[in-house]
Structure 1
């Protein structure tokens, strides 16, 4: 069924208005910033946006403007913005977790080495005490003297 030029102009105006609303973030509940939602908001058949159909140039314009907003860091679809934010947060948390696991591994290795060194030092002290216990040449040092400091008059 053919449409008149006036109907086509009216449809294009509705589509452009719907494009502007979607790109401002005015999405219907459960809708996305996509061609399906655009077609439903403009009351136009979705297939009219593809191939050599009458509104394919408006689909191209919509996608170009949408990509420009995304590249500028402005995501009109709150759902997409949330997904992007959560992916970034997930990546950061995975990096923090990997760093924490690495630090724990390093500290565990350090603890193991420190305990091994302490055990070796204790064994050396015990061995030295046993070897000096049998020799008579080792004697005890005398107790330190206490001196009384006098006052001069």
Structure 2
């Protein structure tokens, strides 16, 4: 019992009554009902529960499972945040495109309006300048 609770578990075993019975070379049914080793099963379960409540998991596979569950939870949270950010960026993109389209329409309307009035005169095109010549 002490070896199992310390985490010294043989390959293929776990920290449970079945492995305890196998290690003790006793039939597993002897740990249940009104049989001879019921008090040992109760002590084993109590000690195992105390270890688990203290945060110590003697079974390396169980510890790995707990670690992977915690990692999965963190990854799910990251994924949810990423999906939320993607949704927000997609909404921003849609709004930006809508605003650009509205501004383009406004510019086109103003150009048409300006072309039809005589009060607005067009500026001459800028002269081409040559860089690097001295006068």
| Alignment of 1:134 onto 2:112 | no
Normalising by the residue count of structure 2, what TM-score does the alignment of the two structures yield? 0.87
Question: Max radius of gyration: which structure?
Answer: 1
Count of residue correspondences: 124
Structure 1 moving runs of 4+ over 4 Å: none
Q: CA RMSD in A?
A: 1.4
- 1:138 Cα offset (Å): 2.1
Q: Out of 9, 13, 18, which is 1:31 matched to?
A: 13
**Structure 2 unmatched runs, 5+:** 125-135
CA distance in 2, matches of 1:122, 1:96: 38
Q: Out of 59, 63, 67, which is 1:81 matched to?
A: 63
Higher relative contact order (CA 8 A, sep 6+): 2
**Structure 1 unmatched runs, 5+:** 1-18, 143-153
- 1:141 Cα offset (Å): 7.2
| Alignment of 1:54 onto 2:24 | no
- 1:132 Cα offset (Å): 0.9
